[in-house]
Protein backbone atom coordinates (compact mmCIF):
# COMPACT_ATOMS: atom_id res chain seq x y z
CA UNK A 1 0.00 0.00 0.00
CA UNK A 2 2.84 2.39 0.83
CA UNK A 3 4.21 2.01 -2.70
CA UNK A 4 0.83 2.87 -4.23
CA UNK A 5 0.43 5.88 -1.94
CA UNK A 6 3.93 7.01 -2.80
CA UNK A 7 3.17 6.70 -6.51
CA UNK A 8 -0.04 8.71 -6.12
CA UNK A 9 1.80 11.42 -4.18
CA UNK A 10 4.63 11.72 -6.70
CA UNK A 11 2.23 11.71 -9.65
CA UNK A 12 -0.10 14.36 -8.21
CA UNK A 13 2.87 16.48 -7.17
CA UNK A 14 4.37 16.26 -10.65
CA UNK A 15 1.18 17.27 -12.45
CA UNK A 16 0.41 19.89 -9.74
CA UNK A 17 -3.03 18.46 -9.06
CA UNK A 18 -2.14 17.96 -5.39
CA UNK A 19 -1.79 21.72 -4.85
CA UNK A 20 -5.04 22.35 -6.71
CA UNK A 21 -7.00 19.83 -4.66
CA UNK A 22 -5.58 20.99 -1.31
CA UNK A 23 -5.64 24.75 -1.86
CA UNK A 24 -8.60 25.02 -4.23
CA UNK A 25 -11.33 25.10 -1.53
CA UNK A 26 -9.39 27.75 0.43
CA UNK A 27 -9.25 30.01 -2.62
CA UNK A 28 -12.96 29.50 -3.25
CA UNK A 29 -13.94 30.32 0.34
CA UNK A 30 -11.60 33.33 0.40
CA UNK A 31 -13.15 34.65 -2.82
CA UNK A 32 -16.65 34.07 -1.43
CA UNK A 33 -15.92 35.96 1.78
CA UNK A 34 -14.23 38.77 -0.11
CA UNK A 35 -17.17 39.10 -2.50
CA UNK A 36 -19.75 39.13 0.31
CA UNK A 37 -17.74 41.69 2.27
CA UNK A 38 -17.27 44.02 -0.70
CA UNK A 39 -20.98 43.76 -1.57
CA UNK A 40 -22.06 44.96 1.89
CA UNK A 41 -19.23 47.39 2.60
CA UNK A 42 -15.60 46.37 2.85
CA UNK A 43 -14.10 46.01 6.31
CA UNK A 44 -12.10 43.53 8.37
CA UNK A 45 -12.89 40.93 9.60
CA UNK A 46 -14.59 39.56 6.50
CA UNK A 47 -18.12 38.25 6.79
CA UNK A 48 -20.91 36.40 5.07
CA UNK A 49 -23.53 38.73 6.52
CA UNK A 50 -23.14 41.90 8.60
CA UNK A 51 -26.08 40.77 10.73
CA UNK A 52 -24.07 37.83 12.12
CA UNK A 53 -21.24 37.88 14.64
CA UNK A 54 -17.75 36.59 13.69
CA UNK A 55 -18.39 33.08 15.08
CA UNK A 56 -21.65 32.79 13.13
CA UNK A 57 -19.96 34.02 9.97
CA UNK A 58 -17.20 31.47 10.49
CA UNK A 59 -19.80 28.72 10.93
CA UNK A 60 -21.60 29.67 7.72
CA UNK A 61 -18.31 29.84 5.84
CA UNK A 62 -17.36 26.43 7.25
CA UNK A 63 -20.56 24.93 5.82
CA UNK A 64 -19.73 26.32 2.38
CA UNK A 65 -16.16 25.08 2.77
CA UNK A 66 -17.33 21.54 3.59
CA UNK A 67 -19.38 21.46 0.39
CA UNK A 68 -16.46 22.52 -1.80
CA UNK A 69 -14.06 20.22 0.03
CA UNK A 70 -16.32 17.27 -0.79
CA UNK A 71 -16.44 18.30 -4.44
CA UNK A 72 -12.66 18.60 -4.69
CA UNK A 73 -12.20 15.33 -2.78
CA UNK A 74 -14.50 13.50 -5.16
CA UNK A 75 -12.53 14.78 -8.14
CA UNK A 76 -9.24 13.83 -6.43
CA UNK A 77 -10.41 10.23 -5.96
CA UNK A 78 -11.72 10.08 -9.52
CA UNK A 79 -8.81 11.83 -11.25
CA UNK A 80 -5.68 10.45 -9.57
CA UNK A 81 -5.85 6.97 -11.09
CA UNK A 82 -8.12 7.72 -14.03
CA UNK A 83 -5.36 7.53 -16.72
CA UNK A 84 -4.25 4.16 -15.34
CA UNK A 85 -7.80 2.83 -15.42
CA UNK A 86 -8.43 4.12 -18.95
CA UNK A 87 -5.22 2.62 -20.36
CA UNK A 88 -5.50 -0.47 -18.12
CA UNK A 89 -1.97 0.15 -16.79
CA UNK A 90 -3.63 -0.21 -13.41
CA UNK A 91 -2.96 -3.89 -14.04
CA UNK A 92 0.70 -3.34 -13.15
CA UNK A 93 -0.46 -2.47 -9.63
CA UNK A 94 -2.86 -5.39 -9.46
CA UNK A 95 -0.12 -7.83 -10.43
CA UNK A 96 1.93 -6.78 -7.39
CA UNK A 97 -0.86 -5.85 -4.98
CA UNK A 98 -4.31 -7.15 -4.19
CA UNK A 99 -7.14 -5.13 -5.78
CA UNK A 100 -8.44 -4.25 -2.32
CA UNK A 101 -5.05 -2.78 -1.40
CA UNK A 102 -5.03 -0.60 -4.51
CA UNK A 103 -8.61 0.57 -3.96
CA UNK A 104 -7.95 1.25 -0.29
CA UNK A 105 -4.84 3.27 -1.14
CA UNK A 106 -6.84 5.27 -3.65
CA UNK A 107 -9.51 6.12 -1.09
CA UNK A 108 -7.01 6.87 1.69
CA UNK A 109 -4.98 9.18 -0.53
CA UNK A 110 -8.03 11.15 -1.66
CA UNK A 111 -9.40 11.28 1.91
CA UNK A 112 -6.09 12.66 3.18
CA UNK A 113 -6.18 15.32 0.46
CA UNK A 114 -9.80 16.17 1.32
CA UNK A 115 -9.19 16.56 5.06
CA UNK A 116 -5.99 18.55 4.43
CA UNK A 117 -8.02 20.86 2.19
CA UNK A 118 -10.55 21.31 5.00
CA UNK A 119 -7.81 22.20 7.50
CA UNK A 120 -6.32 24.72 5.07
CA UNK A 121 -9.78 26.15 4.48
CA UNK A 122 -10.50 26.51 8.19
CA UNK A 123 -7.20 28.33 8.68
CA UNK A 124 -8.25 30.67 5.87
CA UNK A 125 -11.64 31.23 7.50
CA UNK A 126 -10.03 31.91 10.88
CA UNK A 127 -7.65 34.44 9.31
CA UNK A 128 -10.37 36.25 7.34
CA UNK A 129 -13.23 36.22 9.87
CA UNK A 130 -11.05 36.35 13.02
CA UNK A 131 -13.12 33.49 14.48
CA UNK A 132 -13.83 29.78 14.34
CA UNK A 133 -17.18 27.98 14.59
CA UNK A 134 -18.21 27.31 18.18
CA UNK A 135 -18.75 23.59 17.50
CA UNK A 136 -15.38 23.16 15.79
CA UNK A 137 -15.09 19.58 17.06
CA UNK A 138 -18.31 18.53 15.34
CA UNK A 139 -17.23 20.32 12.20
CA UNK A 140 -13.93 18.42 12.23
CA UNK A 141 -15.72 15.10 12.70
CA UNK A 142 -18.13 15.97 9.92
CA UNK A 143 -15.23 16.92 7.65
CA UNK A 144 -13.52 13.58 8.33
CA UNK A 145 -16.74 11.73 7.47
CA UNK A 146 -17.22 13.91 4.39
CA UNK A 147 -13.66 13.09 3.29
CA UNK A 148 -14.36 9.37 3.51
CA UNK A 149 -17.68 9.68 1.73
CA UNK A 150 -16.33 11.83 -1.10
CA UNK A 151 -13.23 9.69 -1.62
CA UNK A 152 -14.97 6.33 -1.64
CA UNK A 153 -17.74 7.67 -3.89
CA UNK A 154 -15.24 9.10 -6.38
CA UNK A 155 -13.27 5.85 -6.41
CA UNK A 156 -16.40 3.79 -6.95
CA UNK A 157 -17.61 5.97 -9.82
CA UNK A 158 -14.20 5.71 -11.50
CA UNK A 159 -14.26 1.92 -11.45
CA UNK A 160 -17.79 1.92 -12.86
CA UNK A 161 -16.79 4.17 -15.75
CA UNK A 162 -13.77 6.48 -16.23
CA UNK A 163 -15.76 8.87 -18.42
CA UNK A 164 -15.37 12.41 -16.97
CA UNK A 165 -19.13 13.00 -17.02
CA UNK A 166 -19.53 10.21 -14.44
CA UNK A 167 -18.08 12.44 -11.74
CA UNK A 168 -21.35 14.40 -11.84
CA UNK A 169 -23.09 11.41 -10.22
CA UNK A 170 -20.55 11.53 -7.40
CA UNK A 171 -21.25 15.26 -7.03
CA UNK A 172 -24.96 14.56 -6.68
CA UNK A 173 -24.33 11.92 -4.02
CA UNK A 174 -22.14 14.28 -2.00
CA UNK A 175 -24.65 17.12 -2.39
CA UNK A 176 -27.38 14.89 -0.97
CA UNK A 177 -25.16 13.91 1.96
CA UNK A 178 -24.12 17.45 2.97
CA UNK A 179 -27.46 18.56 4.54
CA UNK A 180 -27.38 15.43 6.69
CA UNK A 181 -23.84 16.14 7.87
CA UNK A 182 -24.80 19.59 9.14
CA UNK A 183 -28.02 18.39 10.81
CA UNK A 184 -27.27 18.03 14.54
CA UNK A 185 -29.98 15.39 14.94
CA UNK A 186 -28.67 13.15 12.16
CA UNK A 187 -24.93 13.84 12.29
CA UNK A 188 -24.04 11.44 15.18
CA UNK A 189 -25.59 8.51 13.31
CA UNK A 190 -23.71 9.37 10.13
CA UNK A 191 -20.42 9.14 12.00
CA UNK A 192 -21.09 5.38 12.13
CA UNK A 193 -23.04 4.84 8.92
CA UNK A 194 -20.75 6.65 6.46
CA UNK A 195 -17.55 4.74 7.38
CA UNK A 196 -19.40 1.45 6.87
CA UNK A 197 -20.68 2.66 3.51
CA UNK A 198 -17.16 3.78 2.58
CA UNK A 199 -15.81 0.31 3.36
CA UNK A 200 -18.53 -1.21 1.19
CA UNK A 201 -17.81 1.21 -1.67
CA UNK A 202 -14.08 0.45 -1.43
CA UNK A 203 -14.72 -3.30 -1.57
CA UNK A 204 -16.95 -2.87 -4.64
CA UNK A 205 -14.27 -0.66 -6.23
CA UNK A 206 -11.68 -3.39 -5.69
CA UNK A 207 -13.95 -5.98 -7.30
CA UNK A 208 -14.64 -3.74 -10.31
CA UNK A 209 -10.93 -2.91 -10.67
CA UNK A 210 -10.11 -6.59 -10.91
CA UNK A 211 -12.91 -7.21 -13.39
CA UNK A 212 -11.88 -4.22 -15.53
CA UNK A 213 -8.27 -5.38 -15.67
CA UNK A 214 -9.23 -8.95 -16.47
CA UNK A 215 -11.61 -7.98 -19.28
pLDDT, tens digit, 9 for 90 and up, residues 152-203: 999 999 999 999 888 888 888 877 777 777 777 777 787 788 889 999 999 9
Average pLDDT over residues 125-135: 92
Separation CA 95–CA 91 (nearest Å): 6
Question: What integer pLDDT is reported at residue 168 of this predicted model?
Answer: 87
> Residue 132, class by beta-carbon neighbours within 10 Å (0-12 exposed, 13-18 middle, 19+ buried)?
middle
DSSP SS3 for 44: coil
**Start-to-end C-alpha separation, the chain:** 24
Separation CA 85–CA 19 (nearest Å): 22
Separation CA 130–CA 125 (nearest Å): 8
Question: pLDDT grade, residue 97 (50/70/90)?
Answer: confident
Residue 94 has pLDDT above 70, yes or no: no
Specify which of 12-16, 97-101, 186-190 reaches the highest per-range mean pLDDT.
12-16
pLDDT, tens digit, 9 for 90 and up, residues 29-48: 999 999 988 887 788 889 88
Question: What integer pLDDT is reported at residue 214 of this predicted model?
Answer: 65
Amino acid sequence: MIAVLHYAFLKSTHDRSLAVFVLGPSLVIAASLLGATIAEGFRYPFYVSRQMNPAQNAEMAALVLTFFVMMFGTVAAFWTFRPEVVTKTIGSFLMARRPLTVALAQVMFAAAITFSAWIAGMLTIAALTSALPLAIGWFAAGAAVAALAASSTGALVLTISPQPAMVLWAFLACTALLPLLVNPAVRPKLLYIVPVMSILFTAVSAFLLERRWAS
